[in-house]
Chains A and B, each alone.
Chain A
Amino acid sequence: MAAMNPRSNDGPSGRTVVLAFGIAIAAAVALVAVALLLRDDSGTPPTESPVVDLSGIPQDGRMLGPPDATVTLVEWADPQCPACRTYNEELFPIVVDEYVRPERMNAEFRGFPFIGDDSVKAYRFLLAAGEQSKLWDLQEAMFRNQGGENTGWVTDDLIRELAAEVGLDADQLFADFERDDITLEAENAEAAGQAAGIPGTPTLQIRIGDEEAYAIQVATVDQLRMALDDALAG
């Protein structure tokens, strides 16, 4: 007994190890296969009804609300960003109903389309909608119908459907979408956001008069109200 090699008792045999590793590799391959087969690339289901009523609020290009407002809430967003969709559905209605519609401040939309080609394409449509003073209507509808990232969800059919929903002239929208200046602006928007030091989306900034805009960090309705009330209080 004393002459026995303890290693032969303590460790599994080489055959066992090979078998175990074979099983592990097969399990890993199976896990990857299951992950690919069961992945859900449809994105979050559309939100059918508008989350906020923008009718009657003045719009001009990327601006929403009274043009002479002293305080501006600047929203940097990527049409494909799921967090922007969450902002659109949970916080944006508060901004509109309690601050923009009562003419306490206005809002400015800045695209930061960094996630992929669908982001740039969607932003081109938003800029084109701005030519009809409907950028904010289209972005609200677009976020509600957001698809999976870079799946080609920004289709002409979807845009025509949303254009009809928000009252855009679809033919004019597609014509403006092809304009060189709009294409260039959308394609340069990511670089512009980076140059402005935007770390991600949604990024919210407050601009008071001619002062330099400052970022606010809000995750809840209460935090949003506090930040906006602080800005209004000067």
Chain B
Amino acid sequence: MSDRALRAGAVLVALGGIAVAGYLTWALFDDAALVCVAGGGCETVQESEYAEIAGVPVAMLGLGAYVALLGLIVWDGRSARLAAAMIALVGGLFSMYLLALQLFVIEAVCVWCLANDVVIAPALAVLTALRLRS
């Protein structure tokens, strides 16, 4: 896969990450979204004690990380590639932790979180890592 394709893929996936994290951040502050969904749901997950780190919503941290990643991918300098890969790797690993929490601790799965944890974060980690070889 060419570097151009990898870069385009990384931009698209980062935009997907911004969309998902942006939605989850918005939902935190929207009264209409205040419902606990049966069978697990974003609200149950987002209202859990694991949804914040030192008072900062995890969704907001994710949004910040994706915006930073997109900026680094667009910038595309040598250091930017390395920094993007590092952030994406941290995000990918942290997503595995969040996924484990949903499955085994909170026992509720948020479909938007799942999309992030299973698809977007790992994909970005792989794409940005591959670009280091280009």
Name A residues whose Cβ lies closer than 8 Å to a Cβ of B.
Answer: 10-12, 16-17, 20-21, 23-25, 27-29, 31-32, 34-35, 38-41, 43, 78, 81-84, 86-87, 112, 114-116, 148-150, 190, 193-194, 198-203, 217, 219-220
Report yes or no: B53 in contact with A114, Cβ–Cβ below 8 A.
no
Report chain B residues within 8 Å CB of A194.
38
Interface residues of B in 1-56 (CB under 8 A from A): 31-32, 34-39, 41, 43-44, 47-50, 52-54
8 Å CB contacts to A: which residues of B52-78?
A: 52-54, 58, 78
Cβ of A203: which chain B residues have Cβ within 8 Å of it?
Answer: 35
A114 x B52 contact (CB < 8 A): no
Contacting pair B89 A25 (CB below 8 A)? yes
- Taking a contact as CB atoms under 8 Å apart, the answer to whether A21 and B89 are in contact is yes
How far, in angstroms, from A64 to B84 measured CA to CA in the complex? 58
Nearest residue in B to A151 (C-beta to C-beta)? Answer: B49
Judged by a CB distance under 8 angstroms, whether B103 is at the interface is no
Enumerate 24 A-B pairs (CB-CB under 8 Å) in ascending A order.
Answer: A11-B78, A11-B134, A12-B78, A21-B85, A24-B93, A25-B89, A27-B90, A31-B53, A38-B54, A40-B52, A43-B49, A81-B36, A82-B47, A83-B36, A83-B47, A114-B38, A115-B44, A148-B48, A149-B47, A193-B38, A200-B35, A200-B41, A203-B35, A219-B32
- Asked if A41 meets B49 with Cβ closer than 8 Å, knowing A17-B82, A149-B106, the reply is yes
Looking at A40, A87, A148, A203, the one whose CB has the most chain B CB atoms below 10 A away is A40
By Cβ-Cβ distance, the 4 closest A-B pairs, closest first, are A28-B93, A81-B36, A200-B37, A24-B89
Best-buried of B49, B52, B58, B78 by chain A (most CB within 10 Å): B49
CA distance A83 to B37 in the complex (A): 10
Q: Do residues A201 and B132 form an inter-chain contact, with CB atoms below 8 A? A: no
**Interface mask (B101-129 → A, CB under 8 Å = 1, otherwise 0):** 00000111000000000000000000000
Cβ-defined contact, A201 with B107, below 8 A: no
A84 vs B122: C-alpha distance when bound (angstroms): 35
* Apart from A11-B81, A21-B89, 9 more pairs, CB < 8 Å: A10-B134, A11-B134, A43-B49, A115-B36, A149-B48, A149-B49, A150-B107, A199-B37, A219-B31
**A149/B133 in contact, CB under 8 A:** no
Collect the chain A residues with CB atoms within 8 Å of residue B32's CB.
217, 219
Chain A residue nearest in CB terms to B91: A28
- Give A86 to B34 CA distance when docked, in angstroms: 8
- Contact present for B94 and A34 (CB under 8 Å): no
Q: Which residue from chain B places its CB closest to the CB of A29 in the assembled complex?
A: B93
Contact A199 B38 (CB under 8 A): yes
A28 to B54, CA, bound (A): 16
Instruction: Give Cα A198 to B38, complex, Å.
Output: 8
CB pair A201–B34 under 8 Å, yes or no, is no
Q: Which of A34, A149, A217 contacts B53 (CB 8 A)?
A: A34
CB neighbours of B82 from chain A (8 A): 12, 16-17, 20
A21–B86 CB distance below 8 A: yes
- Distance in angstroms from B79 CB to nearest chain A CB is 8
